[in-house]
Structure 1
Amino acid sequence: MSLETSGKDLVLSVRAGLAALALVLTIPAGAGAQGAEIAFGSLNHDSSLPVEVTAESLSVDQGDGTAVFTGDVVVGQGQMRLAAGRMLVVYGAGGAGGGRISRLEASGSVVLTLDAEAAEADKAVYDIGAATIVMTGNVLLTQDGNTIEGQRLVVDLTRGTGSMEGRVRTVLTPSDKP
Structure 2
Amino acid sequence: MTFLRVFACASLLALSSPVFAQGTQVAFGAIQQDTSAPVEVSADELSVDQNTSAATFQGNVVIGQGQMRLSAARVEVTYRTSGQGIERLQATGGVTLVSGPDAAEAQRADYNIDNGVIVMTGDVLLTQGQSALTADRMTVNLNDGTARMQGRVKTILQTGNN
Specify if TM > 0.5: yes
CA deviation vs aligned residue, 1:62-91 (integer Å, no higher than 9, x gap)? 100000000000000011000000000000
CA distance in 2, matches of 1:175, 1:64: 54
Identical columns (%): 48
Q: So what's the TM-score if we normalise by structure 2?
A: 0.85
* Deviation for aligned residue 1:43: 4.4
Equivalenced residues, count: 148
Q: Aligned to 1:76, what secondary structure does the other structure show? A: strand
Structure whose residues are more often strand by fraction: 2
> Do the aligned residues in 2 keep the contact of 1:80 with 1:112 (CA within 8 Å)?
yes
> Do the aligned residues in 2 keep the contact of 1:124 with 1:136 (CA within 8 Å)?
yes
> Which residue number corresponds to residue 3 of structure 2?
none
Cα RMSD, aligned residues only: 1.8
Write the mapping of 1:1-178 to structure 2, written as runs, cut at 5 A.
28=18, 31-95=19-83, 99-175=84-160
Letter in 2 for 1:123: R
> Do the aligned residues in 1 keep the contact of 2:121 with 2:138 (CA within 8 Å)?
yes
Q: Which sections of structure 1, spanning at least 5 residues, go unmatched?
A: 1-20
* Deviation for aligned residue 1:163: 0.3
Q: Which sections of structure 2, spanning at least 5 residues, go unmatched?
A: 1-13
> Which residue number corresponds to residue 11 of structure 2?
none
Highest Rg: 1 or 2?
Answer: 1
CA deviation vs aligned residue, 1:22-71 (integer Å, no higher than 9, x gap)? xx89x64xx52411110111342100000000000000001000000000
Structure whose residues are more often helix by fraction: 1
* Deviation for aligned residue 1:168: 0.4
CA distance in 1, matches of 2:156, 2:89: 30
CA distance in 2, matches of 1:175, 1:82: 32
CA distance in 2, matches of 1:159, 1:33: 22
Runs of 4+ off more than 6 Å = none
